Each structure stands twice: as structure tokens, then as C-alpha cells.
Amino acid sequence: MSLLELERVSKRRESGAAGRVALREVCLELEPGELVVVWGRRRSGRSTLLRVAAGLEAPDTGVVRFTGHDLAGRAGQALRGGIGHCSTVFRPDDGRCVVDQVMLGLIARGLSPSAGMEGALGALERAGVAECAQLRPGELDGGEAARVAIARSLALRPSLLVIDEPTLGVDLLARDGILLLLRSIADEGMAVLASTGETTGLAGADRALSLGDGQLRGTLSPRLAPVVPLRGPVRPRASA
Amino acid sequence: MLRGAMGGRTAVESVVGAAVRPMTSLVNWAVLGLVIERASYGYELVKRFERKFGDVLALSSESHIYTALNELARRGLVEQAPAQPALPADVGRQPRPHYHATADGERRYEEWLIAQIHQDERRSRLFVRQLSVLAHDPDAALHVVERYEQACLEGSRDAPIASRDDSCEDARGELIARLISEESRLVGEAMLAWVEYARTELEALARDRGGSR
């Protein structure tokens, strides 16, 4: 049993008149301690894949299992507590400073303010942005914002971190630090599933996958060889 | 004149001929680069070679460095430096022969580096031409393109993360590591853009073939 398992997952996006297939019978398995990065062009469906994998969206067809249990339905809500979904576009403007933002999730889980503060500071320290604790989100640069977003997820101690484009908008010198942080998080035993629109985001991954035309390609399970489908006749695009 | 053992050439012709042959050994060029970086002796060169090039080039043995130095010296690209003053720690030891690059060695190294760009272009063209022989079977060509994409992704995955590079001895080493990292990733990006283009073209060709059958 894998920590996360997507089995023949399909999802259609209803953007535009015709809509489009974002995911086409996608299969994927992830184990604890793995860093798996999905590369794809803009509108390739990579963000949809991550939202489906995190249980935030249900697939049209197929199954998403976390620790062996289907994420669909009511039981999935409890399971989702073990999954941290993280968007690095972290710019809330509600007047709270960074540490207060990070501790929100902990307070919502019933921790006392002091325990929440302790947990938030620990997560910021782990993400390498302890010095940003008292800043407003608007004062963070791209790299700091990404690290704070990661800290907000880490504070909840998930066993799977799903992170959409962790290096988007991060300058060259800060980017490698983010990749190293994700690598170290996986090395500590957490599974990390990330997306990237640039191959620069693939460095350090255990598996590099590509998503295009709704198809996920590469080593879809740590126990399998890379999937390079032997092609039959090419499908007409109109069927997408 | 001595003939026979040298394939009909004279000894002088043989030596002169060897001297003008292009130096193709990547190890020799790497050693020349290390000597240009700073004058050095054999053992230190072995260690620096392993740190800088160990992931992409292999020495057959430590003596490989000396073979390379001899070849570089024979071609006038490096020469032995005057004996270094003995350090207190070196008293009683054999003086280490240091090598430094000649002006010709530095010039030739720069020319060789630039020529590598054309080698890469040549390899790329060759790959595309070799792929084109599969154009009669677009599905087979697409399969090769899929595998090529996977190889590109794996290359990007394995690109070093600059600040994790253990070979960084100083700020200059870190800069070099970042330059290498960025070059390999951007090349990967360009290769994937080509894969996307090739896939679109080949899929269109496959559809046309399918429709005309």
C-alpha cells in the first residue's frame, strides 16, 4: 500500500466553450520520503493534478487513495488532515504578521495560543525564515514568501506535502535554497509532491514526471520502470 | 632513415605528425584547465580533478594525470615551473615538480572551449537527422521523442543544486557550481521545448498518414 495512490484518475476542466481534458486516466504512487516533481507547460493540468491528489477536488472518474483509503466522501475530510496543500502565492492582506498567519491552522486545530505560537515559530525556523516572523506578508520577497507558505503547511505536520510551483517568482539565488529545503523535508520522511513549469524546479527530485495532453509520463511508481507508452495511432485532438 | 615500425613514416615525421594531431582526450583538456586555474603538482591535480570532474570524467588511475601532463608538456601547453621553495613541513621530501600553463596552452584551451559549442550543435543536428529516418513511421518517431523527453527530465532532475555541491571550496567555486547548474538546466529547458514542437509535428504527420490510409 502506497501513502498516496491515484488510480486511473480523469478530470475535465470546463474552461471555454468546449472544455478540455486536464487529466486522462492518470496513475501515480508516492511513498514516504519521496520527492516527486511534475513538470508541465502552462495549462497542462499540473495544478489540477495536485489539487486532486490533495483531495481538494474530486476526480470525474478514478480513485485517489491516501494511506489506502479513498479520499472521496466524508471520510476523506479526516484523511486530508494528513495532507498539506501549499500554494506559494502567499500574500494575505488581513493585517496579521507572518507568525500569526502560520499559527492560524494550529489554533483551528484546537491548540492553545502559546502552543500555536511555539509550533509556528518552530515551523518558520525549519523553513529557514525565523527572522520573518514579525513581518507583514507584503514585506516578504518571493523566496521568503515561498518558505513561509511551506512553513504554514509544515506546522500542521502532514505526512504528505503537496506544493504547487514552489519556485515560481523566486529569484535565481533563492531558488536552490527552496529546492534544498524540499529535498531535506523528504529526507526526513515526509512525502513531497510538487509541480513546476520550469525544468529548474526538477533538481534534487527522486522522480521527475511530465504532464501534457492530460497524460502523466515517467516513473509513476517507485517500484516501476519509467512509463514510455508504446504508441498506438495518435488520437485526433478533437476528442480531447 | 628509420622506416617500417612506424608504418612507413620516419621517426621525425611520426613525432611531428603526432604533435599536430588534435588533442581529443577530454581528460587532457580537463587537466590543462586545472593547471590554468593554478600551477599545481601531480597529486594535488588528482584530488582537484576528482572534485571538479569526478562526476563526468574518470581517471584510469592516478598515473593518468602524469600521462596527461606529459602529453600537455610535449605539445607545449604546460611546462614545469622552477622548483618551489621548500616549506618547513616539506623538509626531507623530494621537491614536487609544479606545472603551469604556457601562453599557448591558455590560448588553445580557450579555443577548445569555444569549439565545444559547435560540437554540441553538431550532436543535436545529428540526432535530429537520425530521428528523421523514422519519419515514415511517425508513431515510432514519437516513441523515440517520448524517451528523449524522459532523458531530458532525468537530466534536469540530476542537475546539481548549487549550494549542495561539495566541491565548493570558496566563493569562486560556488559561482562555478551555480553557472554549471544554470547552464545544464537551461539546456534541459530548451530540449523540452524542442520535444514539444517535435511531438506536435509528428502527431500531425501521424494524423495525416492515418487519414490518407
d(CA A175, CA A202): 11
Question: What local confidence, expressed as pLDDT, does residue B131 receive?
Answer: 82
Same domain assignment for residues B36 and B77: yes
Question: What local confidence, expressed as pLDDT, does residue B126 receive?
Answer: 83
The answer to whether residue B167 neighbours chain A at the CB level (below 8 Å) is: no
User: How far is the CA of B184 from the CAs of A167, A205, B84, B162, in angstroms?
Assistant: 17, 15, 39, 11
Question: What local confidence, expressed as pLDDT, does residue A183 receive?
Answer: 94
Question: Does residue B28 fall inside a structural domain?
Answer: yes
Question: What local confidence, expressed as pLDDT, does residue A92 receive?
Answer: 66
Question: What local confidence, expressed as pLDDT, does residue A223 receive?
Answer: 80
CATH of the domain at B27: 1.10.10.10
Question: Does residue A233 fall inside a structural domain?
Answer: no
Q: Which of these three, B88, B104, B120, is where a domain ends?
A: B104
Residue A189: what residue type? G
pLDDT in tens, A114-142: 999 999 999 999 999 999 999 988 888 88
Range of the domain at B63: 11-104
Here the cell at position A196 is 513546476
Distance from CA of A70 to the nearest CA of B (A): 30
User: How far is the CA of A83 from the CAs of A63, A154, A190, A234, in angstroms?
Assistant: 16, 10, 10, 37
pLDDT in tens, A15-62: 665 678 889 999 999 999 999 999 998 888 999 999 999 998 999 999
- Give me the residues of B, 86-145, that contact A with CB < 8 A: 138-139, 142-143
d(CA B97, CA B69): 11
Range of the domain at A193: 4-228
Q: How many domains does chain B have?
A: 2
User: How far is the CA of B56 from the CAs of A210, B161, B170, B173, in angstroms?
Assistant: 26, 16, 21, 17
Q: How many domains does chain A have?
A: 1
| CB < 8 Å to B139, chain A | 231-234
Q: Are residues B162 and A176, on separate chains, in Cβ contact within 8 Å?
A: yes
Residue pair A76/A142 in contact (Cβ under 8 Å)? The answer is no
Same domain assignment for residues B96 and B178: no
Question: Does residue A236 fall inside a structural domain?
Answer: no
Question: Does residue B126 fall inside a structural domain?
Answer: no
pLDDT in tens, B147-191: 888 888 888 888 777 654 444 556 777 777 777 777 877 888 888
Same domain assignment for residues B148 and B196: yes
Question: What local confidence, expressed as pLDDT, does residue B164 receive?
Answer: 46
Question: Does residue A234 fall inside a structural domain?
Answer: no
CATH of the domain at A194: 3.40.50.300
Q: Are residues B153 and A199, on separate chains, in Cβ contact within 8 Å?
A: yes
Q: Is the pLDDT of residue A74 over 80?
A: no
Question: Does residue A159 fall inside a structural domain?
Answer: yes
Task: Please name which of A239, A231, A236 lies closest in space to residue B211, comparing C-alpha atoms.
Answer: A236
Question: Does residue B118 fall inside a structural domain?
Answer: no
| CB < 8 Å to A234, chain B | 138-139, 142, 203, 206-207, 210
Question: What local confidence, expressed as pLDDT, does residue B88 receive?
Answer: 62
Q: Are residues B196 and A229, on separate chains, in Cβ contact within 8 Å?
A: no
Mean pLDDT of chain A: 86
